[in-house]
Amino acid sequence: MATNAEFVVSRLASVNPATGEVLGELDSAGPAEVGTAVFRARAAQADWNSLGIRNRIRILRRFQQILLARKNDVARRITQEAGKPCVEALLTEVLVVLDAARFLIANSFEILREQKLPHGNLAMKSKAGRILHEPFGVVGIISPWNYPFSIPATEALAALVAGNSVVLKPSELTPLIAMELQNLLREAGVPDDVFQVLPGDGATGAAIIASEINKLIFTGSVATGRRIAQNAAARLLPVVLELGGKDPMIVLEDADVDVASSGAVWGAFMNAGQTCLSVERCYVHQSLYNAFLDACCEKARKLRVGNGMDPGTEIGPMIHERQVRIVELHLEDAKQRGATVLVGGSRLREFGPTFFAPTVLANVDHGMRIMQEETFGPVLPIMPFRDDAEAVRLANDSDFGLAASVWTKDRAHGDRVARRINAGTVMVNDAVSCFSISEAPHGGVKSSGLGRTHGRWGLEEMVRVKYLDSDRIPRMKKIWWFGYGGGFAAEMESFVDLLYSHSLGERIKAVVNSAGALWRRKL
């Protein structure tokens, strides 16, 4: 990482991926700017926390109403910067944030309030216990470009309502919508220093990690996540890491082919496949395989590709040409190893350099990169299986474990298979939409990351748990204090029997034999 003296201020250009138009430019935040922002955030956090959770909820409610009134404008801004169709921006970004606010407004006080903790140990009955939830202080958020509004907003809202201040580094590809989020929060009443956006590239992110933040929430690649975890471990910085997926879809023998194929096409191609929860591997029972392939191909051919600002568009551009090249590399590897491209397979240059045709692949296997590495593009590889056991084995044969889906007419059958899949979330007869269920945790296992966002679990990630214990008899010396004496060990042995023996006779005997401990002389 560059030192302050070495850092040269650079400009970030936000570019519309559909047209190449430069939407705006921002200065990258260097180490000095990051340090100053974190200092201001720390200074402001105490007053923000002192405001109280009920007042922070009121501010969150104002934010929700402001966003609701401007939902279409925010959706259009997302489309201009990220490329996705406006309707997807509305449903997968704005709606998700509105509902996350709804959940936090309704539940934050109950989840974070001070709670009594009962004591089951007889020796501790004289104590009153409390569980307190205290904010970490300054929470750093490093967010990606594929959901530039919903991902940072849902995380920031949870951090803010818990009493933290936030510094956010958005992707260098989508900084403007993060600035819009900042404007909305400030208009709702969040103080300027309590929520700050720090545009920049990887050097800015590294400066945030090295700064005096108290927790980090990161969404991005496995490689970057591993480096962040190593750097954070050096100073025991707590982290939440969401590192992507290679989500499997299992179509069981008793599935409805029409419904499942529509789910596969939407799950693989929405947001041009640039979703960590995308269907990236599809396994279909061999009895349905040919019919399922035909249905997916027919539906993929009907998809309308174009500028996301066009109301008729279903597939917009990919975010950047380097992401397109990853898709092309995976496809070339698959074809060289025997895969067959049934639909698509190439750029749609008549629309522009970042448009890629929705692609359906057959004859794939796990020796191909496209079945092992995150492709993050509009590609649906489909592979047959013989029985449930093979389907589960194939689904679990991955370094990733973010989410999965199972498709069947028999819900009980689907639940049984779902329980055997190693993933943070498994949906039966749907995919991807789990991210919009505000009550549900979002996160994965294996290389898909650590910790959770969303719901109770995401809110609890934003606080430290403190146990407060107060003795009800402050003038009494405790029986376990010094002044043991020769008979103390025997008395305590009897006391243990009193607590845990299943024999009534043994417990009565223990009462007598341990009573002397109450009267012994203590230091």
User: Which of the residues 276, 282, 296, 297 is marked catalytic?
Assistant: 276
Active site residue 296: no
Q: Where are the alpha helices (DSSP H) in 167-248?
A: 175-188, 202-210, 222-234
Terminal-to-terminal C-alpha distance of the chain = 57
Residue 18 CA, chain-centre distance (Å), reads 27
Q: Find the helix or strand (DSSP H, E) in which 466 lies.
A: strand 463-471
Active site residue 460: no
Cβ atoms of 151 and 483 within 8 Å: the answer is: no
Q: Provide DSSP, 370-395.
A: GGTS---SSEEEEEEESSHHHHHHHH
- Rounded to whole angstroms, the Cα distance separating 162 from 139 reads 11
How many Cα atoms sit within 13 Å of 37 on the Cβ side?
25
Q: How many CB atoms lie within 10 A of CB 456?
A: 17
User: Which of the residues 242, 253, 373, 374 is marked catalytic?
Assistant: 242
What would the two tokens of residue 309 be? 């600002």
Encode 11-58 in three state secondary structure: EEEEECCCCCCEEEEEECCCHHHHHHHHHHHHHHHHHHHHCCHHHHHH
Cβ atoms of 12 and 314 within 8 Å: the answer is: no
Residues 6 or more apart from 380 whose CB is under 8 A from it? 264, 265, 268, 269, 279, 282, 296, 300, 358, 359, 360, 361
- Rounded to whole angstroms, the Cα distance separating 404 from 258 reads 19
Q: Provide DSSP, 316-376.
A: ---S-HHHHHHHHHHHHHHHHTT-EEEE--SB-TTT-TT-B--EEEES--TTSGGGTS---
Strand order in the sheet with 115-117: 115-117, 127-135, 463-471
Cβ atoms of 43 and 196 within 8 Å: the answer is: no
Cβ atoms of 228 and 216 within 8 Å: the answer is: yes
Catalytic residues: 242, 276
